[in-house]
Chains A and B, each alone.
Chain A
Amino acid sequence: MAKHETPLIDQLESGPWPSFVSDLKQEAESRAKNEKNIEYQIPQDCCDDLLGVLELSYKHGRTHWKHGGIVGVFGYGGGVIGRYCDQPEMFPGVAHFHTMRVSQPAGKYYTTKYIEDICDLWERRGSGLTNMHGATGDIIFLGTTTPQLEEVFWELGHNLNQDLGGSGSNLRTPSDCLGESRCEFACFDTQAICHDLTNEYQDELHRPAFPYKFKFKFDGCPNCCVAAIARSDLAFIGTWRDDIRIDQEAVKAYIGGEIPPNAGAHAGRDWGPFDIQKEVIDLCPTKCMRYEDGKLEINTPECTRCMHCINVMPRALRVGNDKGASLMVGAKAPILDGAQMATLLVPFIKVEPPYTEIKETVIEPIWDWWMEEGKNRERLGELIKREGMQKLLEVTGFKADPRMIQEPRSNPYVFWKADEVPGGFERDINEFRKFHQR
């Protein structure tokens, strides 16, 4: 018998999509039965109380969590999101309901053994509820009490060789697309660099030292499966410099209908036979392709590597051999001065271990500048707006390049440095008056 009546959220148990309400109830029931005789370290009925408080929020149309919460583990300044219910008498099981961020493996590949181990830990010391995964990438342990935080942390570190993720004004948990592990488009090993930079910058991740949050994301190609361009302050997006590799026989197989376009992604509807002219050549954004006499040609200098032709004919077209990444900076959500996607800083850089060039010529100069100049709670993207892209180029040492802009400025408010102007800025009005009377 459920602890609280939940008529509103009960309606979310119908329909075909997996119901989070049914899953919550299942966990609540499993904790009530406790068939494994677990010594629960937080209230056994916390899932029931979570359902109860959620039902109340459905009724009121308002949240019932108090503002903020500052909890954590010794040694770290982040990793735990404290949360307290604003109706603790009614719902004592969720009076404390802190979230712990647990750092996830790159690409989110798991073994059952690992998942079972973290579940055993969380079943005993937490609510048994999780979020797989948070939008930044972390495994999210959803709901525990303050005294359990150090206990969970100790077990994670000592028994599972596992660390917390990031929160606060610091480097947040980096994440990546699954890259070369199972994608033929990947232009660099996203998982390797994600793992390497996560380890390299552990201090920056665990101890907030920045003006605000900072995120890395790694996409193996411009398809951006982890959305680096929109969701990270420093986005790594794979690309290549040489020719797209064309297998003419496979092109013919696509045209002959032997291979479905887009690997069959549109098979749910009849779009007619594949028409290479209409579906590839004419849709190329730079019109740099042609198909004549049974041969597909691509004019590489005009190709912007948008991925469209490769996406349509993955068995005929492959990314080039000279691979690397473009680095883009400054993406952020709207607060405070408007949403931004990332802007191009490094058109092409090789991505090879130990990634020294990326660390020393990109990441660290950007951090040095932003840590010094960034205002309280100012994202990198906002600092670039405030001080200018030019300033970012100065501090990183990259030369201005037409590829960094979509179009040149249309206003004429151009700043010059004194040493760029013959004679500098120091002028004597009396000298001017010798030639121009008042």
Chain B
Amino acid sequence: METIEYMGKTFSVDEDGFIDDFNNWCPEWEQWVKTVEGIEEINDEHRKLVTVLRDYYEKNGIAPMVRILSKVTGFKLKHIYELYPSGPGKGACKMAGLPKPTGCV
């Protein structure tokens, strides 16, 4: 585990920069992820995705499928990539403080 100090906060992350614990997420974490995921400015649409992801994870214990994320937010996949260039998994889930996606990726 590496540690990152940013805006007065300390975060533990894995090699891929995912946060160690969903509960350690905070607004400063979002700002940090912004700097490494190719995002210029966090706007309401970025926040909407983060909120949906965090709500879904709290309720279901997993990240939503891409299709569900699109349906709930109303954002097409193309738009999600405009907001998060690394995509919903590496980009948005990382910012939302969700665990790292697994499986045959």
Hey, which bits of chain A sit against chain B, CB under 8 A? 66-72, 74-78, 81-82, 84, 96, 146, 167-169, 203, 207-211, 213, 371-372, 376-377
**When A68-B100, A68-B105, A377-B103 are in contact, do A208 and B67 touch as well, CB less than 8 Å?**
no
C-alpha spacing A244/B90, complex, angstroms: 53
C-alpha spacing A210/B88, complex, angstroms: 13
22 sample A-B contacts, Cβ–Cβ < 8 Å, listed by A number = A66-B15, A67-B102, A68-B100, A68-B102, A68-B105, A69-B16, A70-B16, A70-B105, A74-B85, A74-B86, A75-B85, A76-B87, A77-B89, A81-B105, A168-B104, A169-B105, A207-B78, A207-B81, A207-B87, A208-B89, A209-B77, A372-B67
Interface residues on chain B, number (Cβ under 8 Å): 24
**When A76-B87, A209-B66 are in contact, do A70 and B101 touch as well, CB less than 8 Å?**
yes
C-alpha spacing A260/B21, complex, angstroms: 69
One of B62, B81, B85, B89 near A70 (C-beta < 8 A): B89
What 0/1 pattern do residues 24 to 43 of B give for CB contact below 8 A with A?
A: 00000000000000100000
Which one of B16, B85, B87 has the greatest number of beta carbons of chain A within 10 Å?
B87
Please determine whether B18 and A70 come into contact, CB atoms closer than 8 angstroms. yes
Query: Which residues of A are found within 8 Å of B65, using beta-carbon distances?
Result: 211, 376
C-alpha spacing A96/B62, complex, angstroms: 27
One of A68, A74, A376 near B38 (C-beta < 8 A): A74
Query: Which residues of B are found within 8 Å of A78, using beta-carbon distances?
Result: 105
Which one of A69, A84, A377 has the greatest number of beta carbons of chain B within 10 Å?
A69
Please determine whether B77 and A168 come into contact, CB atoms closer than 8 angstroms. no
Please determine whether B81 and A72 come into contact, CB atoms closer than 8 angstroms. no
Tell me the residues in window 61-105 of chain B with beta carbons closer than 8 Å to chain A beta carbons: 62, 65-67, 77-78, 81, 85-90, 94, 100-105
Query: Which residues of A are found within 8 Å of B94, using beta-carbon distances?
Result: 70
C-alpha spacing A331/B61, complex, angstroms: 30
Query: Which residues of A are found within 8 Å of B16, using beta-carbon distances?
Result: 69-71, 82
Please determine whether B81 and A209 come into contact, CB atoms closer than 8 angstroms. no
Query: Which residues of A are found within 8 Å of B18, using beta-carbon distances?
Result: 70
Query: Which residues of A are found within 8 Å of B105, using beta-carbon distances?
Result: 68, 70, 78, 81, 167-169
One of A69, A74, A208 near B15 (C-beta < 8 A): A69
